[in-house]
Amino acid sequence: MVTLKDIAAEAGVSITTVSNVVHNRKSRVSPERVKKIWEIIEREHYVPSMSARSLANDHSSIIGVITHLTPQNTGSTMSDPFLSAFVDSIEKRTREEGYYLMVRSVETAAELDALCRSWRLSGLILTGMFQDDFFNATLNLHIPFVLIDSYVDHPDVCSIGLEDEAGGYLATRHLLEKGHQQIAFASPSIRPGGVIEKRLQGYRRAMAEFGLPFDHRLIFTTEITVEEGKKLGHLLSERPGITGVVASADLLAAGIMAGLNERGVRVPRDKSIVGFDDNYLSQLTIPSLTTVHQDAEQKGILATDMIMRQLQHETIEEKSIILPVRLVERGSVRSLTP
CATH 3.10.290.10 fits 4-48, yes or no: no
User: Which class for 328: exposed (0-12), middle (13-18), buried (19 or more C-beta within 10 A)?
Assistant: middle
Sign of CA dihedral 176, 202, 277, 219: negative
CA 45 to chain centre: 37
pLDDT above 60: residue 134? yes
How much is the pLDDT for 78? 62
Average pLDDT of the segment spanning 166-189: 98
Give the residue among 248, 266, 269 at the shortest CA–CA distance from 257: 266
Tell me the range of 34-48, 93-107, 282-296, 305-319 where mean pLDDT is highest: 282-296
For domain 164-293, the CATH class is alpha beta
Q: Where in the chain is the domain with CATH 1.10.260.40?
A: 4-48
Average pLDDT of the segment spanning 71-92: 75
User: Who contacts 245 (Cβ-Cβ below 8 Å, separation ≥6)?
Assistant: 183, 184, 185, 186, 236, 253, 256, 271, 272, 273, 274
Q: Where in the chain is the domain with CATH 3.40.50.2300?
A: 62-162+296-323, 164-293
- Helix 15-22 vs helix 31-44: angle between axes, to the nearest 10 degrees? 80
CATH superfamily of 62-162+296-323: Response regulator (3.40.50.2300)
Identify which has the larger pLDDT, 116 or 74. Answer: 116
How much is the pLDDT for 126? 96
pLDDT above 80: residue 301? yes
> What pTM value is reported for the model?
0.83
Give the residue among 224, 216, 336, 204 at the shortest CA–CA distance from 275: 224
Average pLDDT along the chain: 90
Average pLDDT of the segment spanning 192-213: 97
Buried b (16+ CB within 10 A) or exposed e, 195-222: bbbbbbebbbebbeeeebeeeeebebeb
pLDDT above 50: residue 318? yes
The DSSP letter of residue 218 is G
Average pLDDT of the segment spanning 246-265: 97
Identify which has the larger pLDDT, 6 or 23. Answer: 6
CB contact at 8 A, 176 and 207: yes
Residue 260: CB atoms within 10 A of its CB come to 24
Which of 79-88, 217-226, 301-310 comes out lowest in average pLDDT?
A: 79-88
How much is the pLDDT for 75? 44
Reported as half-sphere exposure (CB side, CA atoms, 13 A), residue 193 has a value of: 9
Helices within the chain (DSSP H only): 4-11, 15-22, 31-44, 50-57, 81-96, 109-119, 133-139, 164-177, 195-209, 226-237, 250-262, 296-311
